[in-house]
Amino acid sequence: MTAPRSASQRRSDALEKLNAVHADAWVATASGQGAHLVPLSFAWNGEQVLLATEERSASVQNLRSVGSARIALGATRDVVLIEAVLDRIVAVAEAPDVIAEIYAGQADWDPRDAGGDFVFVVLRPVRVQVWREANEIAGRTVMRDGSWVD
Amino acid sequence: MTAPRSASQRRSDALEKLNAVHADAWVATASGQGAHLVPLSFAWNGEQVLLATEERSASVQNLRSVGSARIALGATRDVVLIEAVLDRIVAVAEAPDVIAEIYAGQADWDPRDAGGDFVFVVLRPVRVQVWREANEIAGRTVMRDGSWVD
């Protein structure tokens, strides 16, 4: 096992994954019936995670009712795990250009070309945990209550 | 994009991931407060997914109240996604040898050596979906209502 990373290194590694182009995240949401889990392309605008999916999808329906999600970036042994709350859901056709441009620039598709009932989902991280092996469980929380831990 | 895999090939690929040694799964569970998502080592006994985690974990608490989970194996672009229902939760110290042996043989640790309040969680897949790219969305369901699709 390698030595555990420092808090600042983990924060930096989390941001590297948040800024990765053409990457997918595992997005878990909940309804009264159970959990939903699906891989979705994402983008990061420096403060929020941007997803794009269909209005009728289970993820959007769950977010509209529960208002939170867990988002995993990276592999199961190089984990960046984000607890996020819903800021807003906006139809692609009505979205501010800044959201659409950031999403199209980082994800590997542009929902403005997709037709259908796609929406942007804007999520604000409140907790971020970063770990690889057992020796990184301690100190894994690099964001708490929406603030990066110093 | 490569040609979409046949149903039998996808089933075979799903079983290969279920039988992989020292692999982790993303396990999503739900409570009334939202989704929980965590990577866990797993094993497969041919009919059920076996997990081992702490009795007090959010995953176990959610499973005790909701009774279902979504389990993702593999990467976000080589997806095996399992909807599973809880068969039972059994304390490691009280578990049948067959469960403990299969788990220890496939996962990279043995909860019998771990102390603490670890339990085995036995989950029965009811739906399995397998896809890589957009051209595999059609036909992605290889198990439905607990039966492999022919």
Helix (H) or strand (E) holding B60: helix B58-66
| Chain B residues near residue A23 by CB distance under 8 angstroms | 76
DSSP string, B3-15: PPPPHHHHHHHHH
Cβ–Cβ contact A77 with B under 8 A = yes
pLDDT at B32 over 90: no
* Distance of alpha carbon B43 from the chain centroid: 8
Predicted-assembly ipTM surpassing the 0.85 threshold = yes
Tens-digit pLDDT profile for residues B130-142: 999 989 999 999 9
Nearest CA in chain A to B76: A39
Outline where DSSP puts E strands in chain B: 24-31, 34-44, 49-54, 68-73, 79-91, 118-131, 141-144, 147-148
Hey, of A1, A22, A24, A37, which one would you mutate to test binding to chain B, going by the most B CBs within 10 A of its CB? A37
pLDDT per residue of chain A (150 residues) written in tens, 0 to 9: 789 999 999 999 999 999 999 999 999 999 988 999 999 999 999 999 999 999 999 999 999 999 999 999 988 899 999 999 999 999 999 999 999 999 999 998 999 999 889 999 999 999 999 999 989 999 999 999 999 997
Find the closest chain B residue to A67 by CA distance.
B34
Residue B117 tokens read as 């309040």
pTM greater than 0.90: yes
Token pair belonging to B12:
């075979």
**In angstroms, what separates the C-alpha of B133 from chain A's closest C-alpha?**
11
**What contacts A82, CB < 8 A, 6 or more positions away?**
A49, A70, A71, A72, A73, A125, A127, A128, A129
